[in-house]
Structure 1
Amino acid sequence: MKVGVAQVDITPEPGCELSGFAARTQPSIGVLDRLYAKCLYLVEGDERLLWIHVDLIGLLREFVLDFREWAAAKLSLKASQVLISTIHTHSGPATVEISEAGRYDPAYVQFLRARLEEAAREAIENTTACTPVFVEGRCDLAVDRRKKASARTDPRVAAFGWRRDDGSFIGALTNYAMHAVALGPSNRMISADLPGRTAAILSERLPGRPIVLATNGACGNLNPPYEHITSQQLSAWGGQVADAASGLLPEAAPLTDCTLRLASRVVPIALDVLGVDQINEIADRYIGHAGSVGEWGDRYVRALEKWRRSRTEEVRDGQCAATADMEIFAVRLGPAVMLGVNAEVFSAFTDLVREATGRSVYTVGYANGVRGYLPTKVAYDEGGYEVETAHFFYNSFRFKPGGLEHLADEAVQLVRSLFA
């Protein structure tokens, strides 16, 4: 397998607003650690994959589609060969539009686009033959933050490495499901949070100091044990995730099956579209609860009122879509499959696909855009932030119950096609 890697610094200047928390004092006041865009380019037979992984909260779907058009024109890559994922840090610049949780920064996004083009070109122009390896470790750090009867976590840590003949690594990729919110809303420093520390520590521990893409998983319901931690604790937790792979990768046997196969599909998932009276009833009800959220109640109300106006206008104008497009981007690397999904998907999604296919399957959340939370059907009965109020901040209608299960069924078909 031929492999190319690249890494570019995408750290903004302090003073930018940080994305992810409404309950935060803005703007940023410094840099705790640098943010990077990391590129992995794989060639096996006639197949090619350009995977760009970015230390940001997420990207707009339009950004991804536009970048794919550029890659087709300038790099002769198909749209189905370009995957862009993010770590979902809540301590980076605002590259998606989340109401009252950091002002979207178009100037930074323009800068980012140029840096991603640079990384893509560098990786493609500098490939070398490597031996792929794959291991699965375990980390029990993440907790189900919802604390409901349906609680479940995903302790699996997937790790791929691309090893040179001398035993050193040119690149590595990990996957672990846990929200990148360890620093919490009190933090005002720019940071890649836990995935950034995991990547840095694993790189230090592996021979060759490879570029490491530490991807996030199906973590819509998963958090670190607690927030507002110190930088030292962040390194300790990042080390725990890195530990799950660092001892296994150097000793891993070469993959006897180096298959690289890609498949993707866009699946329309039904939205819970409301009438104007329902919109007003819900907005009034939750505004009545604003006092319970403390000092950031004003931001909560502003987000709700924006949601009320936007959804009402959309419904009255007849411009309201009944569905939202979810893209499943499947990458088979030997015996394992990575499933990119453009949502904050609950951890049960991965288990559903694993159980139905019997394959080593891992979800890459926040991939090729981010469209809000995709909870399990049972979560709607249990209630909670992800199903009741998160869509106010995403300024959209929530998904109807059953959307996750439908997407999992589609993913099962896609995974099976990769082994047919």
Structure 2
Amino acid sequence: MRIGLANTTITPDRPIFMTGYAARTEPSEGAYADLEASVIVCDDGERRVGIMALDLVGVDEFLLEPIREKAAQLGIPAKAMLVNCSHTHCAPACRFVRGSCRKFDEAYLEKLKETLFMLLERAVDDLQEGSLDYKVSFCSLGINRRRAGAEGRNVGMLPALDKPIDMDVPVLRVLSPAGDVRAILFSYAAHPTTMGGQLIGPDYPGPARDMIREKLPGCLPVFLQGCGGDVKPRNVTPDGTFAVGTIEIVTEIGHELARAVSAAMCGERQQLSGEVSAASELAMLPTQGTPSSEQLAELDRGNQWEQAYAEAVRKVIQEKGGLPDSLPVEVQVLKIGGLHIVALGGEVSCEIGLEIKSKLPEKRVWTLGYSNLLRCYIASLQAHSEGGYEVERSFLYSLYPEPRPLGLKPESVAVLVDKAVELVGSV
């Protein structure tokens, strides 16, 4: 197999409006660390697959479609080009879906697109003989953020030690023929939201990569975000709330993850050999449909974004009769040797990622959220019974190209999981 690598920084060179926290009203005031973009291309002699990792909250059609068109020109079919975002909340606004509450720097977005094109070209030009191996480590840096009260209803984004997290740390090594480690791909399932503020930065994935670089000079570390839609870093106050992290805390958490990656270097690893292949289909997730007049009236009394949502919904009702009954979410599977990478286009609950793996016990399965077109939160069945932000309110802030229903139906979980299991069996 031939593997090509490329990496660059994508840190803005000027103040820019950020995304992740709706309370921000001013542009960035510098950067505490660089944002990165990396590309890995695997070629088995007949087919190619590509993985692009970005320190962004997510991407929409503006970036995804041109990236895949460029990849296709380089021999990587659209279905075989995976774009995963770390989901750091200290990155530039890049998704027009959040246009109701974000300002965009069009010049930065155009430059970013050209940079990513060049990165793809460099990775293909770098294709050289090598090998891959794989092992899963573990880490407990995350904590579920969906605390439930005495009546079983969600009481907010608060630490919930009784709720699940996915502790897996998948580690994929790229080796030269001489056995040197050229790259390490690794992931964890937790929001990179240790800190906020006005500084650009990658949150915990950044110092994790830095520590790997320090321990393995010449190695390219690449972070991929897992299914961590309901998980935050374990930075908790004594009174049981999430703390606002400092750069020092971000570094400490990142180093905890890097040590878990290092642990995967010990002992026997699974050699990945053979062909590469890919599959991609849309899972049509059932939605709650069009909000009622009572719901819209309540939103009229809310904040500016809720009011904007209600106004946009009424416009769609007038023009089209209502909102869609289903939402298309991409499910993609890359098979590299005996490893199946399942990439989901949403902020996926950790329980869903765990369920997909549990249904495929005989397979090596690596689950990723925040991949390709970032559609929406996809909450677990338990979250649907409890309510809360991911289920009831997160859709309010998505008005591009038009508003979405207020949420998904609980049946959406089975639709997504079944599609992922089906595609793993098809490649």
Common fold: TM-score over 0.5: yes
CA spacing shift, 1:252–1:5, aligned 2, 3 Å: farther
What amino acid does structure 1 have at the position aligned with 2:36? Y
| TM-score, length of structure 1 as denominator length | 0.90
2:376 counterpart (372, 376, 379): 372
Q: Separation in 1 of the partners of 2:259 and 2:354?
A: 23
Give the aligned CA root-mean-square deviation in angstroms: 2.0
Give the counterpart of 2:419 among 404, 410, 419.
410
Whether contact under 8 Å (1:134, 1:160) holds in the other structure is yes
The answer on 1:342 being equivalent to 2:358 is no
Partner Cα separation in structure 1 for residue 412 and residue 343 of structure 2: 16
In the alignment of these two chains, the number of paired residues is 400
Structure 2 residues without counterparts, runs of 5 or longer:
153-161, 236-242
Could you say what secondary structure the match of 1:41 adopts? strand
- What residue in structure 1 maps to residue 158 of structure 2? none
Instruction: Label 1:275 to 1:353 Cα distance change in 2 as closer, same or farther (>3 A).
Output: closer
Q: Secondary structure, in 3 states, of the residue corresponding to 2:48?
A: strand
Partners in 1 of 2:218 and 2:345 — Cα distance? 30
Counterpart residue number, 2:77: 78
CA distance in 1, matches of 2:383, 2:246: 32
| CA apart distance, 1:204 | 2.3
Does residue 192 of structure 1 match 2:195? no
Deviation at 1:28, TM superposition (A): 0.7
Distance 1:21 1:100 in 2: 13
Is 2:169 aligned against 1:157?
yes
1:221 counterpart = 2:230: yes
**Deviations 1:370-397, CA, capped at 9 Å, x for gaps:** 1110112331220111112111122422
d(CA) in 1 for partners of 2:275 and 2:14?
Answer: 43
AA paired with 1:371? Answer: R
Partner in structure 1 of residue 159 of structure 2: none
Q: Paired residue for 2:212? A: 202
Q: Give the match's secondary structure for 1:330.
A: strand
SS in 1 for 2:146: coil
Aligned to 2:359: 356
Residues 322/140 of structure 1: CA separation in 2 closer, same or farther (3 Å cut) = same
CA contact (8 A) 1:194 1:238 kept: yes
Who is 1:307 aligned against? 309
CA deviations 1:6-35 (Å, max 9, x no partner) are: 012211124101111012352110111111
| 1:223 counterpart SS class | strand
Question: For structure 1, which segment, 114-123 or 244-253, has the greater mean C-alpha deviation from structure 2 after superposition?
Answer: 244-253
CA distance in 1 between partners of 2:126 and 2:179 (Å): 19
| Structure 1, 302-311 or 146-155: larger mean CA deviation | 146-155
Partner residue of 1:283? 299
Give the match for residue 331 of structure 2: 328
Which stretch has the larger CA shift, 253-262 or 196-205? 253-262
**In the TM superposition, what is the alpha-carbon distance from 1:348 to its structure 2 partner?**
1.2
The AA in structure 2 aligned to 1:193 is D
For residues 90 and 135 of structure 1, do their structure 2 counterparts lie closer, same or farther at Cα, with a shift above 3 Å needed? Answer: same
- Supply the distance in 2 between the matched residues of 1:162 and 1:249 (Cα, whole angstroms): 12
In 1, distance between residues paired with 2:27 and 2:62? Answer: 26
User: 1: distance between equivalents of 2:131 and 2:99?
Assistant: 45
Q: Does 1:316 align with 2:318?
A: yes
2:204 is paired with a residue of what secondary structure?
helix
Whether 1:138 and 2:176 are equivalent positions in the alignment is no
Pairing of 1:2-41 with structure 2 (within 5 A): 2-41=2-41
Cα distance in 1, alignment partners of residues 374 and 272 from structure 2: 35
Measure, in 2, the Cα distance between the counterparts of 1:254 and 1:271.
40
In the other structure, the counterpart of 1:292 is none
**In the aligned structure 2, how far is the partner of 1:168 from the partner of 1:13?**
34
Alignment of 1:222-301 (within 5 A): 222-226=231-235, 227-249=243-265, 252-253=268-269, 255=271, 257-275=273-291, 277-284=293-300, 287=302, 301=303
Distance 2:341 2:143 in 1: 22
1:383 matched to 2:393? The reply is no
Aligned to 1:298: none
Please give the per-residue CA displacement for 1:103-125, whole angstroms capped at 9, x wherever unaligned.
23332211111000000000101
Asked if 2 retains the 8 angstrom alpha-carbon contact of 1:132 and 1:258, the reply is no
Counterpart amino acid of residue 64 in structure 1: L
State the alpha-carbon separation in 2 of the partners of residues 77 and 244 from structure 1: 32
Matched to 1:123, the amino acid is A
Deviation at 1:167, TM superposition (A): 2.9
